[in-house]
Amino acid sequence: MAKIAAMPSIDIVNSLRGVLDFYTWCNLVIVRRWPKAPGRSRNDLVMSTAEKFKYVNQAASTLTDDIIQPYKDIAIQTGLSWKDWMTRLYINRDPRVRLIEG
């Protein structure tokens, strides 16, 4: 992992896809080796959480603005995005909190 001065052009990022991963963190531009899947089977809890994560991310792209707005309201001044909050609420399923769905 390395800190770099500026995000490279999208053409460079796309050409290195699968080799290097570029992202921002705390207003820093970071580059790292592309993450690799482990060479072993994952346990059942990890796999079920991955399925939930996949589902909630796919569902997020189909939500209307009136459903997204409450998540945006929750996220104000928290440092997390509305999608982060939606994902946390869905995966953790706290019985005191109800997921906003269409």
Q: What is the dihedral of CA 13, 14, 19, 23, to 10 degrees?
A: 40
Task: Identify whether the C-beta of residue 22 lies closer than 8 Å to the C-beta of residue 30.
Answer: yes
- Can you give the pTM of this predicted structure? 0.53
Per-residue pLDDT in tens (0 to 9) along the chain, 102 residues: 788 998 989 899 889 888 999 988 888 999 998 888 777 788 888 888 888 889 988 988 899 999 999 889 989 988 889 999 888 888 887 666 665 665
C-alpha dihedral (102, 76, 10, 57), degrees to nearest 10: -30
Q: Give CA–CA dist 71/6, Å, rounded.
A: 31
Q: In the block, which residue shows the tokens 């990022």?
A: 13
Closest residue by Cα to residue 2 from 26, 39, 31, 29? 31
**What does the alpha-carbon distance between residue 31 and residue 80 come to, in Å, rounded to a whole number?**
21
Q: Where are the beta strands (DSSP E) in the chain?
A: 2-4, 20-25, 28-33
